Structure 1
Amino acid sequence: MQLNQQELQNLRHLIGSHETTEKKLNFYAQQCQDPQVKQLLQQSAQAASQTRQKLLSFLS
């Protein structure tokens, strides 16, 4: 599958956004005192990581 320049740019933007989201959610989870909220943040960070990995697979 060949991506055009616009698609490639959009894909890179999405990958970067998911990476930023993952880092922020992990940071918030580290600061969190409530175990339920902490778990939710960690799960959301993991989901962002999985989506980022899936998006990265389109680059290969």
Structure 2
Amino acid sequence: MMNLNEIELQNLRHIIGAHETASAKMNDYAQRCNDQQIKQYFQQSAQSAQQTKQQLMSFLQG
């Protein structure tokens, strides 16, 4: 893990949580959507948020 101070670690955890929440919301919106283009937009947004979360988590793992 990188040498993060406590404030940086708390901020990183907060940002990771926000991306997890965004991903979950976008997936929910996609499931409720009838318009295929909008559904695809929400699915892509959810995937992007999940990928960003994984990238941020890599800072905690190594």
Tell me how far 1:30 sits from its aligned partner: 0.1
Q: Can you list the C-alpha shifts for 1:28-54, whole angstroms capped at 9, x where unaligned?
A: 000000000000000000000000000
1:50 pairs with 2:51:
yes
The aligned residue for residue 16 of structure 2 is 15
TM-score (norm 2): 0.95
Give the corresponding residue for 1:32: 33
How many Å apart are 1:16 and its aligned residue?
A: 0.2
Deviating 4+ runs (over 6 angstroms): none
Mapped partners of 2:23, 2:14: distance in 1: 14
Look up the match of 1:41.
42
TM-score by length of 1: 0.98
How many residues end up aligned between the 2 structures? Answer: 60
Gaps of 5+ in 2: none
- State the superposition RMSD in angstroms: 0.4
The answer to which structure, 1 or 2, has the higher relative contact order (CA under 8 A, 6+ apart) is: 2
